[in-house]
Amino acid sequence: MSMVKTRRAAVVEQVQAARRRGGDSNQRPGEAARGRRCARRRRRARARGDDDGAGGGRTDSGACADDAVRIPAGAGTVTSAETARAVIDAGATYVVSPVFQPAVIAACHERDVAAMPGCFSPTEIFAAHELGADIIKVFPATSLGPQFIKDVRAPLPQVKLMPTGGVSLDNAHDWISRRRRRGRDRVGAARRQGDRGRPLRHDHGQRATRCRDRGVREIVGPSMAHTVVTFGEIMLRLSPLGFERFFQSPALSAIFGGGEANVAASLAHFGLTSRYVTRLPKHAIGESALRALRAEGIDTTHVLRGGDRVGIYFAESGASQRASTVVYDRAHSSISELDPAAVPWDAVMQGASWFHVTGITPALGKNCAEATAHAIAAAKRAGARVSVDLNYRKKLWTEAQAQATMRPLMRDVDVVVANEEDLQAVLGVPVAGADVTGGSLDVAGYRAAAERVTREFGPAQVAITLRESLSASDNGWSAVLWDAKTKTMHQSQRYVVRLVDRIGGGDSFAAGLIYSMLAGRPLDAALRFAVAASALKQTIPGDFNRVTGGRSRRAGRGRRLWPRPAPVACPR
C-alpha cells in the first residue's frame, strides 16, 4: 500500500507544524524547519535500519535545502467557490474562509487543496468537519473564549481547531490545551507504543473512534446526521418598538423571518443540518437576509440570487384586549418570480432525510406552486419524508384556489401540520365543534377531522395545534397528533403562555415535531417536545426560535426552565 500523502494532507501537516513550532529568533528563516526535517530523516532511517543518513548524524544537506523551499502558500478571505478555484489556479496550496461555506470546501477538495473554513458555533464546526474541512478556523476567537475550544474538543477530539482573531503571544498559553503526565507538560502529544515497555490497552485509532462517536452522541444526539431541506420566502419584518402602534414613534425594528426559514433556524439550533432554498435579490437587503440565515447555522448553498425585492411585512404586537396586526407588502418579491426549473431539486435533496414546506409558498404564485410540486417529487425520489404546514393566508389566495393547488400535493405528504382554520380552508375538512375566533376546543372533533384527512388524502400523520385566545397577551397552547397506522390520537400537555411574540409559534412546533421524529422518539414524546419548544418560542422576540433541544425536553417533562430566585432576607 502506498504511503505517499496527498498534496492536501501534506499541506495540512505543514501548517499545523508551523503553528506549533517556536524557534530561536536569531536563526535565519528556514534553519529551524530544516534542522527538524533532517532529524526526522535520521530517526526514520534508524528505524528502517538503513545506513544512509543514520551514521554519525550525517544527512544530505542538499536534499534538506531542497525541501526547505517548499513553503505552503495559501489564500485568505475566500467566500465563494469561484474565488477558491481562481486562487488555487494561481498556486494556493490551502484556502482560508472567514465563514462556513460548503461550496468553498467542495471546490478545494476538487483540486486536492486543504480547506480551512471559519466557524462560529458547534453546529457549524461539526458540519464543516463532516464535509471534510482539514482545519477549522474558530473566528472571532475572542468572542468565544478559550473555554469554548476546550468544550468542543472534549467530545470531538478528532476535529482540528485553529482559534484566530485576538490570539497573540501574550495570551497563547490560554488557548493551548496542556495535559500532565509523569511531571511533564504534554501539548497535544499522543502516547505511542514505544513510550513504555508494556503494550497499549487499545489501538489509538480505535480509542479515537470510540471517543468521537460517544462525544457526538452526547453533544448533538442521534439525529445530527440527518439533513432537512426547507423551501420558502424569507421576509423583512418591520415592527414598532415594544407595544406601540404603527408609527407612534418614528422608529421600526427590522429583522428577518418567514415560515420555512423559521423552521430551518429551529432545526439548526436543535443540531440538525438545515438546508434552506429561496431566492433573494443581489443587493444590500438580500445580502442582509442571507447573513441572517447563515448566522443561525443554516446551509444557504442552494439559495438563488435574482429579482428586485425582498418581501416586507409590518407586525404590530397586541396587548390585553387589543389584537395584533399584520400588514403585508410582498407583491413581486424575488421568490414569487422564481423560474420553476431554476432549482436543481435532485441535487438539493441529495442526502436529505426530510423536506418541509408551508402552504404560503405555493400561494405566492403559479411559479412557486409548480416549484413546490417539483420539490416534493424530488424529495420522494430521494427517499425523504415530507411535511406540509397548511398555513392558509387569505390575503394571498381564496379557499377555492388553495384547495385546487394543495389537495393534489397531499398524496406525497407524510405529515400534515395545521390548525382548525387551515384544515377547513385548504383541504375543505371542517372541525366539528371548533370556534376559530372564540377558541373553544373539542378534541373529538379534531380526531374526526384528522382521520378524514389521512383517509381521503393519504398522509400518515396529522398534527393540529390548539390555540385558545384568552386575550392578546395570554393564550392556551397545546396540540394533538393523529397516527393513521395505529389509529391513535395523542394529546399533549397544555400551557398558558404569556405572549412575548406569537409569530413563529406554529413553525417552531413543526420543527420540534420533525426533529423528534427523525430522532426516533415515540409519537407521544415527539408531540410533547414540539409543544414545549413552540411554547418557549412564544416567549422570545422575533421570528426565530432560539431554544435548544435540551431546554425543550425539560419543558416537555414538566421541569422548571428557569432557576428559582434566591431567597432575600427582609429587614424586620
Q: How far apart are CA 377 and CA 346, in angstroms?
A: 9
Residue carrying C-alpha cell 439559495 = 303
In the block, cell 375566533 appears at 437
Radius of gyration in angstroms for the set of CA atoms belonging to the chain, rounded to a whole number = 28
Q: In angstroms, rounded to a whole number, what is the distance separating the alpha carbons of residues 157 and 116? A: 17
CA angle 198, 200, 203 (to 5 degrees): 155
pLDDT of residue 30: 52
**Which residue's C-alpha cell is 490497552?**
201
User: What pLDDT is recorded for position 455?
Assistant: 94
d(CA 276, CA 295): 13
Q: Which residues contact 180 (CB under 8 A, 6 or more apart)?
A: 186
The per-residue pLDDT for 550 is 54
Query: Looking at the domain assignment, is residue 242 inside a domain?
Result: yes
CATH of the domain at 378: 3.40.1190.20
What total number of domains does the chain contain? 2
- Domain boundary (72, 101, 121) is at 72
Out of 72, 91, 111, a domain closes at: 72
pLDDT values of the chain reduced to their tens digit, one per residue, 572 residues: 444 345 566 655 665 665 555 444 444 445 555 565 565 565 455 445 444 444 444 434 444 444 444 567 888 889 888 898 998 888 888 899 888 888 898 888 888 888 899 888 888 888 888 788 888 888 777 777 787 887 777 777 778 888 887 787 777 777 775 443 343 333 333 334 444 444 444 444 444 444 434 333 333 344 446 899 999 999 999 988 888 888 888 889 898 999 899 999 999 999 899 999 999 999 999 999 999 999 888 999 999 999 999 999 898 888 887 888 888 888 889 999 999 999 999 999 999 999 999 999 999 999 999 999 999 999 999 999 999 999 999 889 999 999 999 999 999 999 999 999 999 999 999 988 776 455 556 788 899 999 999 999 999 999 999 988 888 888 888 999 999 999 999 999 999 888 888 888 889 999 999 999 999 999 999 999 999 999 998 888 888 888 775 545 555 555 444 333 333 333 33
Is residue 158 a part of any domain in this protein? Answer: no
- Is 187 within a domain? no
Q: Does residue 540 belong to any structural domain of this protein?
A: yes
pLDDT at site 66: 43
Distance CA 543, CA 465 (A): 18
Helix, strand, coil percent values for the chain (each to nearest 5): 40, 20, 40
Q: Give the residue from 337, 341, 316, 360 showing the smallest Cα distance to 503.
A: 316
pLDDT at 41: 60
Angle 386-449-543 from CA coordinates, rounded to 5°: 50
What pLDDT shows up at residue 216?
34
Using the 3D structure, point to which of 72, 87, 110 is the last residue of a domain.
72
Does residue 299 sit in helix, strand or coil? strand
Give the closest residue to 261 by CA, choosing from 295, 304, 228, 231: 231
The model scores a pTM over 0.85: no
Measured CA distances, 351 to 22, 126, 212 (Å): 44, 16, 22
Cis-peptide into 140, omega within 30 deg? yes
Which residue stretches of 133-179 are H helix? 141-144, 146-153, 172-175
Q: Specify if 149 maps to a domain.
A: no
The answer as to whether 7 is a domain residue is: yes
* Residue 237: domain span: 226-322+329-556
Residues in the chain: 572
Q: Is residue 415 part of a domain?
A: yes
Q: Is 487 left (phi over 0), alpha (psi -120 to 50) or beta?
A: left
Q: Name, in order, each residue with C-beta under 8 angstroms of 52's C-beta and a sequence gap of 6 or more.
A: 45
Cell of 81: 467557490
With respect to residue 507, please indicate whether it lies within any of the assigned structural domains: yes
- Cell numbers found for residue 409: 400535493
